[in-house]
Amino acid sequence: MESVWCHDCARRVHVAAAALDQGSRDAKCPSCDGIFLERAESSSAAAPARGQRTGISVVFGPAFVAHGDGAFGDFDFTQLDTRNFDAPCDARAVEALPERAWDGGDEKTCSVCLSEFARGDRVKTIPKCSHEFHLNCLTEWLKLRDTCPVCRCKVCDDGVATTTTA
């Protein structure tokens, strides 16, 4: 076992030394499954100092190969952030959103699938912003995040859909 610093969960963890070899798909943090691991240069359990310049060896998994002039090449470190700040919307809140059949009045487009609404299509409305989407499009969107696909306003507050009365 080798001691490494996990930058995803910000703590020292132990990983099998063989997993840290280049090309290994097993180089993951045992706590958070993150892949942004830094080998420890000493047996110290302290976190690397912010801004400290040391010879570091960072394990990125089989897809990472450093090239270029910089210390880590032309690699985009934002691609390593595996955290998801969007939470799915509560299923009860999605069910509570107003739903209706499209009457074919205005020409409108669903911003999720980019198709125009057709007469008889089932649409759901987000009450806070009044944006409308195909029933299936919005349902699938809200399984991944709890915000409006257009304006990013919160659809759910504390797991309950916000409704307004007209």
Residue 82 has pLDDT above 70, yes or no: no
Q: What is the pTM of this model?
A: 0.47
Distance CA 92, CA 141 (A): 15
- What's the chain's Rg over C-alpha atoms? 23
Residue 72 has pLDDT above 70, yes or no: no
Query: How large is the average pLDDT for residues 78-90?
Result: 71
**Residue 47: predicted pLDDT:** 53
Distance CA 148, CA 152 (A): 4
Query: Dihedrals φ, ψ of 38, to 5°?
Result: -120, 125
Contact present, 29 and 49 (Cβ < 8 Å): no
Residue 124 has pLDDT above 60, yes or no: yes
Contact present, 24 and 62 (Cβ < 8 Å): yes
Q: What tens digit of pLDDT does each residue of 8-54 get?
A: 788 888 887 777 766 566 778 888 888 788 876 554 445 555 554 44
| More confidently predicted of 90 and 17 | 90
Parse the chain into domains and list their residue ranges: 1-83, 91-161
Contact present, 40 and 72 (Cβ < 8 Å): no
- Residue written as tokens 């000493």? 42
Q: What tens digit of pLDDT does each residue of 143-158 get?
A: 888 889 999 888 876 5
Distance CA 54, CA 70 (A): 15
**Residue 135: enclosing H or E segment and its boundaries?**
helix 135-142
**Residue 57: enclosing H or E segment and its boundaries?**
none
Look at the chain and count its residues.
Answer: 166
Q: What is the mean pLDDT of the chain?
A: 74
- Residue written as tokens 């995040």? 145
| More confidently predicted of 42 and 6 | 6
| Superfamily of the domain at 91-161 | Zinc/RING finger domain, C3HC4 (zinc finger) (3.30.40.10)
**Residue 130: enclosing H or E segment and its boundaries?**
none
